[in-house]
Amino acid sequence: MKDTDLCRNLEIEITLLDSWIAHRWLVPEERDGMRLFHDADLARARLIQDLIGPMGVNEDGVDVAMQLLDQIHGLRGRLGLLMQAIRRQDEEIQRRILALIDEE
């Protein structure tokens, strides 16, 4: 969706969206000189609204929250790759790995 659509969805001004982009809380896709946003961006923007609005989190707090969210997302991706690698192993190796995890 275009930035105007995102703003309409969120009921915010374009200047606020520009600020979020400047903080790198949102990183739109750039195509043909236009900023494009995906459903994940909309969800992220709604989280930013909740943090700033009802939760009363300041800019530094939003920075931390968004960085943590990005780290969690990255870790989930890495965990998915690890699970794929484990599934490619023979069953005995899979059992050993799972047994080691269960010991922890």
pLDDT digits 0-9 by tens, 58-99: 999 999 999 999 999 999 999 999 999 999 999 999 999 989
Residue 101 has pLDDT above 90, yes or no: no
Q: Are 65 and 49 in contact (CB under 8 A)?
A: no
Secondary element (H or E) of residue 56: none
Residue 103: band (very low, low, confident or very high) from pLDDT cuts 50, 70, 90: confident
The pTM (predicted TM-score) of the whole model is 0.78
